[in-house]
Structure 1
Amino acid sequence: MCGIVGSIRTNANVVEFLTDGLKRLEYRGYDSSGIAVQTDNGLKRVRRVGRVALMEQAAKDKGIYGHTGIGHTRWATHGGVTEPNAHPHISGDLISVVHNGIIENFEAERTRLQGLGYVFESQTDTEVIAHAVHDNYKKTQDLFTTVQQACANFHGAYAIAVIANDKPSQMVVARMGCPLLIGLGKGEVFIASDVSAVVAFTREIIYLEDGDIAQLTADGVAKLIDKTGKTATRTATTSQVSLASLELGAYSHFMQKEIYEQPKAVADTAEIFLDAGFIPQNFGKNAEQVFKEIDSIKILACGTSYYSALTAKYWLESIAKIATDVEIASEYRYRDVIANPKQLVITISQSGETLDTMEALKYAQSQGHTHSLAICNVMESALPRASELVFYTRAGAEIGVASTKAFTTQLVALFGLAVTLGKVRGFISDDSEYSSALRSLPNDIQYALNLEPQITTWASKFAEKPSALFLGRGIHYPIALEGALKLKEITYIHAESYPAGELKHGPLALVDDNMPVVVIAPNDNLLDKVKANMQEVSARGGELFVFSDLDNNVEASDKVHVIRTPRHVGVLSPIVHTIPVQLLAYHVALSKGTDVDKPRNLAKSVTVE
């Protein structure tokens, strides 16, 4: 959600990096973009509503050239999608600011600054940052001190980059609750909200921590203080993000590419367990002791990660025999909770920066929860740093807003956790069955991918429908939820999901010949129940689209369409059945002509409430 870039480049035009970096951040979701550059003729700014390419062309037309600059892609929160609301914001033709996050007390700050004579041109909370910095800078002429003073008055979550027109080789950045990193080059320095924006220019990365404020020059970090105001150092690491993972290659969309990368992503994540075994150390050096101490689990997550948590509940309770509670992070953090120091709090997030999940973890810890585990796809992100234990999935960079391979690798991680806890708790003595299932999983996923031509034939049937219903039972109900979410996200078709047994308790009223009903119907112990629910749909004239297994007896007819995934793969069936619902959403989106990778109103990394 929103993206920040910035750079000081001694021997190159900074506009090149700013536009390239913003293009690489487009996947995060945005509705406008802009840059501000220190030039020989003062501070120059270009902003445009719409895609980065429009802003890039405007910058070329104006011939903007300079060595220091900042840029931003905005996802509207305060104020509409207009050019005056786009970043960067400028105060007094001197100070320019880009900002991710939300300044919660911006109204009070706005009133205070208006009282000092500042005129606001936008409806954003960000403009108060520009004016607050400008007001302090007039007194101190010290950009670092000025930003430090301004940040002391802000409440909320933010990542900020500030430049001053009379400090042509200096930038100050600050982070609180939103991701921000520094990239180190030779005679140049970069900042971004995501490593994907900088890896084409440098791989030496410093990840800022909450409360950090840093002064940058072309030579790197000149000064850095932590949240206490004390001088601090942050160690640079070498990013392992592959440039190839950030390019489309032969695919039409990143979502398509990432769906097809799942056999490898799942195999890479499963390799952790297959090489080392289902051992606690996979989750951290203190994991064995923690796993012996806990008596229950609470999982906090949002969106797709929440559905992976719902799936994991079945594994954790059936394999590890441990009571597991799953909550939406944004709900958990605003209710009274009963803390249990012996409960393991698990957070799940692709980015590791999801604000609601991060704040839910902080709340749990403040209430007395002592044990925490983060399951995440991004190294050194906020959730892992705030957690006692961590497991990094190996999905690789995920660019499409609608999560695919991040979801399936989360499921592999959670399955591995369930088996590991089952062994620690003495319920599993021989894990060969689980190891065998993991080894077979990539091939089973590939089989499901090979069903794409059949799934494509269904797409036109969905494209003109206003709504769709997804049904599943047991451990496959969360996969039905995920299927409905994918359809909503990228096709804009209203879709709901229900446990199939709930159909007769209300949702059946929606069923008619214009309501496609997707059913996840694997050959498990609930198949007969699911078939009975399908009969309820057929009796009301509904049209069924069934994802089944090769080895069951669900029969097709004029209004019952059946696609068979591999033979029932047992305990890992939910992962395999995820693939066809992803492909269905993708091909329906193609039929409707929607923006698959950048669906309207959505962002990849949600760093605001």
Structure 2
Amino acid sequence: MCGIFAYLNYKVGRERRYILEVLFNGLRRLEYRGYDSSGIAIDSDLDSDPVLVEGGGNGGAQAGRPPYDSAPPLVFRQEGKIESLVGSVYSEADVMDLNLEKPFSVHAGIAHTRWATHGVPSPRNSHPQSSGPWNEFVVVHNGIITNYEVLKETLIRHGFTFESDTDTEVIPKLAKFVFDKARDEGGEQAVTFSQVVTEVMRQLEGAYALIFKSPHYPNELIACKRGSTLILGVKELTDANTGTLFHDVKALTTNGKPKELFFSSDLCAIVEHTKNYLAIEDNEVVHIKDGCVSILKFDYGKEKPASVQRALSVLEMEVEQIKKGNYDHFMQKEIHEQPHSLTTTMRGRLRDNDVVLGGLKVHLKTIRHSRRIIFIGCGTSYNAALAARPFLEELSGIPVAMELASDLLDRQGPIYREDTAVFVSQSGETADTLLALEYALENGALCVGITNTVGSTLARKTHCGVHINAGCEIGVASTKAYTSQIVVMVMVALAIGADKISTQSKRDAIINALHDLPNQVSEVLKLDSEMKDLAESLIETQSLLVFGRGYNYATALEGALKVKEVALMHSEGMLAGEMKHGPLALVDETLPIIVIATRDACFSKQQSVIQQLHARKGRLIVMCSNGDVSSVCPSGSCRVIEVPQVADCLQPVINIVPLQLLAYHLTVLRGYDVDQPRNLAKSVTTQ
């Protein structure tokens, strides 16, 4: 998905080089989200004309003077990695003789990483997109404008020329159209920046997060959103008399003291600057001018937006979480962080043989009387819910249905007022999951959110929920969020089933097992070198099958998904009970097959599967509980992965770790980028 970052310093002297590096570093923090090109916009010098440089995107360079009195914005855009943009910016700065040491007491810069949806990756399709000559309005955009073709046709009829294939380009051109029309009717001061933006919003359909910059409104920024995440960060704003932090945006609306302000599509990009932030709501317009922040609420039914006041939140994240430390890759770091992420997920929630989930407390009675519980998610989040389903059914006695969000929407599957719909998403911004949430809300279901991202759309729009608290996950391939999701859903099952006497002993045993789970995961991580050896033996293979059943059907799906998405190797997770209904035809001595056969209610059935695969000379890799080698591989003809045995419902947390390690080492050995897999992004917020 695209990444947005913006930086405004007010009465805080910063050199142009410093401003550039803040913007570049903001983009680097967003790299993990997936992208194919990037760009920035900064100010030129008022006493010099911008120079058009090939590939730079300063397409506004014209003869004469610009139609405004402030410095023309410089737009730099490049295809490929951020470092390509960095190199081209400094190269173009030399050509333009741009003074990088020039100080600015006030300056507004915007930046963007793009993941192509409309138009191939190229400088002209990168953001910021411009209104045309002299860059009178420049915009960065995350999302998709669904009615852009209609808007484009209208603007072309009014004389606008389009240079890109993007849906985004209509936005700055529409802003210029609105501005020009208002100026023609009422003069130079006829329209404010916020009026221009709200009128643009009135014309747009689709999902978006936008940041506008314009030399008609120098040193100002405006951000707005509908359906895509956008965060405002405020740099350590302190009261001169008390030294205390302001935690109310109302103070920002009238406070013109020195400050630094940031916009970002992700908290990870602002944590190194500040922990004071505001999650912008849908249809809010945030205007930064003269060091003050004003927030307006856009409403289609009203001509003028209403002013609103919001409280700032404090970010519970440390800078170390967004750095690799001593690890080679973020995925490797996050796999090895799982003992810690599981500990933080459970911290404060397991008390005196009981589970306390404050976000669900007042809704537990409603959930217990539900007609059914529906888990809804995509990809890894769906797999985590599938792993937790058997235990929730056992403890609650309530039928539990599974729905892939996109399929639910395609079918318009029935959801009733008596249902509880549980939405699972690491980012809380997954497009299909959010659309399914809107559908469930319209149908009157109680909606529960399980997400790793505080302030996300999912967290705000559900009736209640649980924060996973796994910490920032940078790698595109979810690892620690997956295991923490399972643990959260196990705790949800424990909370829902707390009123049943018949399951009390089972609950007590699981709660005790949860306390020791991080230690057990630490033991599994000792298999790292063994999984690297296994990966080396699989480098040349073209396919991999993973068989699981019961609690570990989800493990088979998730393990295969990890290999598929990062190692770029065909892999399939399969229900072992379906082996005879087709998959058995694929078995020969060359196809590697992983069979998950740890001790649980399905153990004897998995032993039978192993025997059948062995009889057909299958190339077997068996995952079993410690000490069970002779039970699963008596002839010694298969490779064995031994893992600790834990409670059935927690075994998927243990069993997935070796497969995560296998996927990681396969990717590195095959020479692929493990943190930025081909064609994938961290959270898919556009369809």
Q: TM-score, normalised by structure 1?
A: 0.96
Q: Please name the residue that 2:589 is paired with.
A: 513
What is the match of residue 5 of structure 1? 5
1:517, 1:20 → 2: CA distance? 43
Q: CA distance change for structure 1 residues 231 and 425 in 2, over 3 Å: closer, same or farther? A: farther
Change (3 A) 1:276 1:32: farther
Q: Secondary structure, in 3 states, of the residue corresponding to 2:579?
A: helix
Distance 1:317 1:258 in 2: 30
The reply to whether residue 120 of structure 1 matches residue 162 of structure 2 is yes
Partner amino acid, structure 1, of 2:666: V
Q: Check if 1:68 corresponds to 2:108.
A: yes
Per-residue deviation at 1:156? 0.8
Among candidates 65, 84, 96, match of residue 54 of structure 1: 84
Return the alpha-carbon distance in structure 1 between the equivalents of residues 522 and 673 of structure 2. 26
Give CA-to-partner distance per residue, 1:178-236, whole Å, 9 cap, x none: 00011112422110000111121122101100111121136241342244632212211
- 1:384 corresponds to: 459
CA contact (8 A) 1:102 1:125 kept: yes
Q: Provide the secondary structure at the position in 1 that maps to 2:306.
A: coil
Deviation at 1:276, TM superposition (A): 6.8
Structure 1 residue aligned with 2:261: 189
Would the aligned equivalents of 2:595 and 2:623 in 1 still touch at CA under 8 Å? yes
Contact in 2 for aligned 1:320/1:427 (Cα 8 Å): no
Equivalent pair of 1:523/1:551 in contact (CA under 8 Å): no
Alignment-derived partner of residue 179 in structure 2: 137
Partner amino acid, structure 2, of 1:596: V
Does the Cα contact within 8 Å between 1:72 and 1:98 map onto a contact in 2?
yes
Most deviating of 223-232 and 43-52: 223-232
Deviation at 1:285, TM superposition (A): 4.4
Structure 1: which amino acid aligns with 2:294?
A
1:545 offset after TM fit, Å? Answer: 1.3
Distance 1:292 1:568, change over 3 A: closer
Q: Cα distance, 1:541 vs. partner? A: 2.8
1:161 to 207, 211, 232: 211
Q: Which residue type is aligned with residue 138 of structure 1?
A: D
Specify every segment of 5 or more residues in structure 2 that has no aligned partner in the other structure, as ranges.
Answer: 49-71, 183-190, 236-257
Instruction: Find out whether 1:597 has 2:639 as its counterpart.
Output: no
Give 2:685's aligned residue: 607
- The alignment's TM-score, normalised by the length of structure 2, stands at 0.86
Matches within 5 A, 1:428-577: 428-430=503-505, 431-552=507-628, 553-555=631-633, 559-577=637-655
Structure-2 residue corresponding to 1:586: 664
In the alignment, the residues of structure 1 paired with residue 40 and residue 121 of structure 2 have an alpha-carbon distance, to the nearest angstrom, of 16
Q: Which residue of structure 2 aligns with residue 420 of structure 1?
A: 495
Instruction: Tell me the distance in 2 between the aligned counterparts of 1:284 and 1:136.
Output: 46
Q: Is the 8 A contact 1:490 1:589 kept in 2?
A: yes
Deviation at 1:159, TM superposition (A): 0.2
Moved more, 281-290 or 406-415: 281-290
- Aligned-partner Cα distance in 1 for 2:519–2:353: 20
Q: Which amino acid aligns with 2:524?
A: A
Identity rate, percent: 37
Pair member with larger Rg:
2
Give the counterpart of 1:201 among 266, 273, 282: 273
* Structure 1 counterpart of 2:222, from 172, 194, 217: 172
Deviation at 1:86, TM superposition (A): 0.8
Q: How does 1:23-38 map to 2 (within 5 A)?
A: 23-38=28-43
Cα deviation code 1:507-561 (max 9, x no counterpart): 1222223321111110122122112222332233321111111132222767510
Question: Which structure 2 residues correspond to residues 383-402 of structure 1 after superposition, within 5 A?
Answer: 383-402=458-477
Tell me by how many angstroms 1:275 deviates: 2.9
1:213 paired with 2:315, answer no
Distance 1:323 1:223 in 2: 44
2 CA distance for matches of 1:425 and 1:291? 14
SS at match of 2:208: strand
1:363 and 2:403 equivalent?
no
Question: C-alpha displacement at 1:568, in angstroms?
Answer: 4.6
- The number of equivalent residue pairs is 608
Aligned counterpart, 1:96: 138
- Distance (Å, rounded) in 2 between the aligned partners of 1:277 and 1:237: 32
* 2:108 alignment partner AA: T
CA distance in 2, matches of 1:192, 1:486: 28
Query: Which runs of structure 1 show a deviation greater than 6 angstroms over 4 or more consecutive aligned residues?
Result: none
Residue deviations 1:59-81 (CA, integer Å, cap 9, x gap): 22233657211110001111111
Task: Letter of the 2:211 partner, please give it.
Answer: A
* 1:330 and 2:372 matched: no
Q: Which amino acid aligns with 1:212?
A: E
The letter of the residue matching 1:269 is T
Equivalent residue for 1:86, pick from 126, 143, 163: 126
Give yes or no for contact 2:357–2:466 (8 Å, CA) kept in 1.
Answer: no
Matched AA of 1:144: S
The answer to which of 53-62 and 226-235 deviates more is 226-235
SS at match of 1:297: strand
The CA deviation at 1:250 is: 0.4
Paired residues of 2:490 and 2:649 also in contact (CA < 8 A): no
Question: CA offsets, 1:460-489, max 9 Å, x none?
Answer: 122211111111011101000000000011
Q: What residue number does 1:45 align with?
A: 75
Asked whether the 8 Å contact 1:542–1:559 carries over to 2, the reply is: no
Q: 2:32 touches 2:475 (CA, 8 Å); kept in 1?
A: yes
- Measured in 1, the distance between the counterparts of 2:645 and 2:377 equals 31
Task: Verify the 8 A CA contact 1:463 1:589 in the aligned structure 2.
Answer: no
Equivalent residues of 2:353, 2:512 under 8 A apart: no
* Alpha carbons of structure 1 residues 74 and 398: separation in structure 2 relative to 1, 3 Å: same
- Contact 1:524–1:568 at 8 Å: present in 2 too? no
Q: 1:121 to 1:127 in 2, by over 3 A?
A: same
Alignment of 1:290 with 2:366, yes or no, is: yes
